[in-house]
Amino acid sequence: MMTQIKIFDTTLRDGEQSPGVNLNQLEKLEIARQLERLRVDRIEAGFPASSKGDFEAVKAIAETIKDSSIIGLSRAVQSDIDTAWDALRNAEEPCLHLFLATSPIHMKYKLKMTPDEVIETSVNMVKYAKRKFSIVEWSAEDASRSDWDFLAKIIREVIDAGANVINLPDTVGYTTPEEYGKMFRYIREHVPNIDRVALSCHCHDDLGMAVANSLAAIENGVTQVEGTINGIGERAGNAALEEVAIALKIRSDFYPYETNLKLDELKRTSDLVAKLTGMSVQANKAVIGRNAYAHESGIHQDGVLKNAETYEIITPELVGVHSNALILGKHSGRHAFKEKVIELGFTLSEEKLNQAFQQFKQMTDHKKEVTDDDLFTILMEIQTNTSAIKKYQLEMFQVQYGSANIPTATVSLKTPDDHVVQTACTGNGSVEALYKTIAALIIEETNLLDYQISSIGGGKDALAESYVKVKVNGEMINGRGTAADVLEASAHAYINAVNKYLIQQNTVRKEVITSK
């Protein structure tokens, strides 16, 4: 008999805490929709009290997503709980994730609270939260560095106060599989009312053991695993959910557990998260890396041709990796295009569909073979864009570059108030000249922090994809751009970062949480 393991995805909360990642509301909604398609049990949509932006995003997700339950993070303070309730009250099943640290170092230096005060606050806040939320998860932050007897004591009390789920995070990625497993076993053996709750694990990857620690927790009675897609998150990130899920599936002979996940949605989910966050997945990443199903050496290729199982323990189809099929071309009509959009998992309004079709047609002028990856990128851009806010638009650019002359760029932009402005600047290289020129035309103060360029798929007519991190008026924003040409993709990425800043300013101002 297989035990059901609930998957708690925190890509939009802990994952979004990755340095430099800054998703706007439309991007978060798109990821949440995909997590629902993946059949994640619980989506941690954000930390509503941390900023107006997070509040609005959690609220929009809670009102849109119906097949996964939506949970919001909250410190153990009444005002956070109230704010979370305002964001989550319209969810199908509003859930709250309350946390308070229990390790000696956190209690003494960060919270400046005695252990008794930590117990009292946790109990009071769980009781308060239970007046509103039907499901309350309580997390002992830095549990893996906490005293086990103290943990047993506080857990017993928060269960009596009404908590439904107890999460024991390895907040700093310090524990080992054996130690973490033993901690859960100890808690199960020393907390008399433990059967009234579900146990959850939450692992960070500082020592590269987050997935192994999560599996050890499952072996010791945990029925909920928290993690993120692609393992993104604070510092070294969180447990990669795709790895946990596939380990359980492939080694079901060893692990008698199953999840609700629709595993063939894993690749799409990974792609979407990578593209929207700008955190690309390393080629050799387990389960969804580009090389995970490539066999390079002759001996391996020979073995796989004779019997795939010689070297392939996971089939690409299981996780939704399909060969990058050649699809639509110059002569494809609207109907075929619409079918493809649905097949790629997008639900577009008529207006956005027209926009996408136009862009696809433009693409076929440069590119004979339009692949699933190309279309996925266009559709994702359109789906997460908004016409409601006036933005900068690239009208024209020209870059002169040669090994014997000074790189010079001329750019013409349409500003958010519909003026066309133009100027020219020089730089040390073509991208620098281009970015200096764009920066000179933009009112916002910008400073480039990171720049990446890659191709989507292969071939000489592959699309270029650029990612940038830009400080816009002091805020770190990431931007992305796609085009047939590398410089054009680079220009779009820079302008996209500034536009994302404008969208953010129009919706909210992000406030800094100082007391977390």
For ligand KIV, the binding residues (CB under 6 A) are: 14, 99, 139, 141, 169, 171, 202, 204
Among Zn ion, ligand KIV, none, partner that 469 touches (CB below 5 to 8 angstroms by kind): none
> Which of these ranges, 12-20, 99-107, 297-305, 368-376, lies near Zn ion under the rule CB under 5 A?
12-20
Least spacing, CB of residue 143 vs ligand KIV, in Å: 8
Work out how close the CB of 449 gets to Zn ion at its nearest, in angstroms, rounded to a whole number.
24
Between 14 and 465, whose beta carbon lies closer to Zn ion? 14
Question: How far is Cα 295 from Cα 309, in angstroms, rounded to an integer?
Answer: 12
**Pick 138 or 467: Cβ nearer ligand KIV:** 138
For Zn ion, give the closer residue by CB, 73 or 247. 73
Give helix 52-64 / helix 78-88 axis angle, nearest 10°.
40
Question: With respect to ligand KIV, which residue has the nearer C-beta, 97 or 480?
Answer: 97
The Cα diameter of the chain in Å comes to 79
Q: What three-state secondary structure class fits 367?
A: coil
Nearer to ligand KIV, 41 or 141 (CB): 141
> Does residue 271 interact with Zn ion by CB under 5 A?
no
Q: Which two tokens stand for residue 90?
A: 């319209």
Phi, psi for 458 (deg, rounded to 5)? -115, -170
Distance CA 471, CA 501 (A): 9
| DSSP structural state of residue 463 | E
Sign of the CA dihedral with 155 first, then 157, 160, and 162 last: negative
**Burial grade of 247 (CB within 10 A; 0-12, 13-18, 19 or more):** buried
Looking at beta carbons only, is 14 or 242 nearer to ligand KIV? Answer: 14
| Residue placing its CB nearer to ligand KIV in the complex, 43 or 464 | 43
DSSP for 217-230, written as a single string: HHHTT--EEEEBGG
For ligand KIV, which is the closer residue by CB, 108 or 251? 108
Task: Write down the least CB distance from residue 64 to Zn ion, Å.
Answer: 25
The distance of closest approach from Cβ of residue 233 to Zn ion in the complex, given in angstroms and rounded to an integer, is 6
* Binding at 271: pick from Zn ion, ligand KIV, none (beta carbon under 5-8 Å per type): none
Only segment of 9-17, 24-32, 51-59, 462-470 that touches Zn ion (CB under 5 A): 9-17
- Which residues does residue 371 pair with via DSSP β-bridges, in sequence order? 326
141: partner contacted, choices Zn ion, ligand KIV, none (Cβ within 5-8 A by kind): ligand KIV
> 224 near 202, Cβ under 8 Å?
no
Tell me how far apart the alpha carbons of residues 426 and 371 are, in angstroms, rounded to a whole number: 36
Residue 139 interacts with, from Zn ion, ligand KIV, none (CB under 5-8 Å by kind): ligand KIV
In the bound state with ligand KIV, the residue whose beta carbon lies nearer, of 8 and 85, is 8
Residue nearest to Zn ion (CB): 14
Q: Look up residue 253 and give its DSSP letter.
A: T
Phi-psi region of 173 (alpha: psi -120 to 50; beta: other; left: phi over 0): left
**Which residue number, 14 or 373, has a Cβ lying nearer to Zn ion?**
14
3-state SS of 315-355 is CHHHHCCCCCCECCCCCCCHHHHHHHHHHCCCCCCHHHHHH
In Å, how far are 190, 240, 245 from 11, measured between CA atoms?
32, 10, 15
Least Å distance between CB 104 and ligand KIV?
16
Minimum CB distance to ligand KIV, residue 51 (Å): 16
Instruction: Restricting to residues 14-53, name those near Zn ion by CB under 5 A.
Output: 14
**Count of residues binding Zn ion (CB under 5 A)?**
1
Burial 361-370 (b: 16+ CB within 10 A, else e): eebeeebeeb
> By the 8 A CB rule, do 31 and 276 touch?
yes
Minimum distance of ligand KIV from residue 238's CB (angstroms): 8
Please choose which of Zn ion, ligand KIV, none residue 488 contacts, taking the beta carbon within 5 to 8 angstroms, the exact cut-off set by kind: none
Of ligand KIV, Zn ion, none, which one sits near residue 80, judging by CB under 5 to 8 A according to partner kind? none
First and final C-alpha spacing in the chain: 42
Q: Which entry of ligand KIV, Zn ion, none binds 490, CB below 5 to 8 A by partner kind?
A: none
3-state secondary structure of 471: strand
Residues at the interface with Zn ion (CB under 5 A): 14
